[in-house]
């Protein structure tokens, strides 16, 4: 059962969804993540980075100990936890809630016991058969992300995302995870072509019938290089433009590396929209 302080953070975060666009700040305590691998491995450095993200305007911090990029080397839960535990102990004391980015139920369970309130699973509860039960037992929120083992350029990506979500939501329901604690993520950059990444964002409204908030994580993704015209991969400019497009298409949460810049862009967007 979730501790009272963690539950309050969880409920405040969930209550804010839909009232305004929210920012999930990415903190990778990994040596090999595609954008910031190795920068925040040390516990003190990770805590300082988390503190800065809070100052910059993030609503939740997503900490991960294993890279999810396609070429990344898989690690076991012992190694993943060794990277995470020291950083987590400090970060969970901050004023914002903490999410654990993992596909392993043992890692999720330990992070939740330390004070994390949300599990961000890039395999949408479909990889580790214990994950859904761990989330339910801890009363945590969950992000169900669409994923595939390989690209298929002939797919209607939204149809494939819907099939995946149906399976994941069925698993969540059987485990007893309430819908009000469930968030969907279309999985930008995960086994999708550049066109499919674009389609997944442009056609977000086709997923509105689930009645669940949608998170988009296009930050610094490789496919952005094919959109900027200069071939430069993972630019901040491309990230900001794509994130704002996602908000316009119906996204409720942005998962980003550059919290300060996204927070500023969202303030401008809100000012342009008016009250």
Note whether 122 and 101 are within 8 A (CB): yes
| Active site annotation includes 192 | no
Catalytic site residue from 9, 49, 104, 221? 221
Report which of 172, 121, 114 is spatially closest to residue 147, judged by C-alpha positions.
Answer: 121
Helices 236-249 & 259-273 angle (0-180, nearest 10): 40
70: Cβ–Cβ under 8 A, 6 or more apart, which residues?
Answer: 191
Note whether 2 and 139 are within 8 A (CB): yes
Catalytic site residue from 174, 181, 255, 260? 255
d(CA 92, CA 62): 11
| Active site annotation includes 255 | yes
Strands (E), the chain: 22-28, 60-64, 98-101, 118-121, 141-145, 182-185, 214-216, 253-256
Active site amino acids:
221, 255
């Amino acid at each position: 059962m979730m501790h009272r302080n963690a539950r309050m953070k969880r409920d405040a975060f969930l209550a804010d969804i839909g009232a305004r666009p929210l920012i999930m700040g990415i903190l990778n305590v990994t040596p090999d993540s595609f954008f910031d691998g190795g920068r925040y491995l040390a516990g003190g450095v990770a805590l300082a980075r988390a503190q800065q993200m809070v100052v910059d305007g993030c609503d939740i911090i997503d900490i991960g100990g294993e890279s999810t990029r396609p070429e990344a080397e898989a690690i076991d839960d012992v190694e993943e936890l060794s990277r995470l535990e020291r950083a987590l102990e400090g970060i969970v004391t901050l004023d914002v809630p903490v999410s654990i980015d993992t596909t392993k139920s043992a890692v999720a369970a330990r992070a939740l016991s330390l004070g994390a309130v949300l599990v961000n699973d890039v395999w949408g509860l479909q990889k580790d058969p214990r994950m859904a039960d761990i989330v339910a037992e801890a009363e945590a929120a969950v992000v169900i992300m669409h994923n595939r083992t390989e690209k298929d350029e002939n797919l209607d990506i939204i149809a494939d995302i819907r099939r995946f979500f149906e399976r994941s939501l069925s698993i969540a329901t059987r485990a007893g995870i309430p819908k009000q604690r469930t968030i969907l993520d279309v999985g930008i950059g995960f086994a999708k072509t550049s066109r499919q990444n674009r389609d997944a964002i442009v056609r977000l409204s086709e997923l509105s019938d689930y009645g669940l908030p949608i998170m988009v994580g296009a930050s610094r993704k490789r496919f952005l290089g094919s959109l900027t015209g200069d071939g430069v991969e993972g630019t901040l400019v491309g990230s900001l433009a794509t994130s704002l497009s996602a908000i316009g298409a119906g996204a409720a949460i942005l998962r980003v590396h550059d919290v300060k810049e996204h927070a500023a862009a969202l303030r401008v967007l809100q000012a342009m929209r008016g009250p």
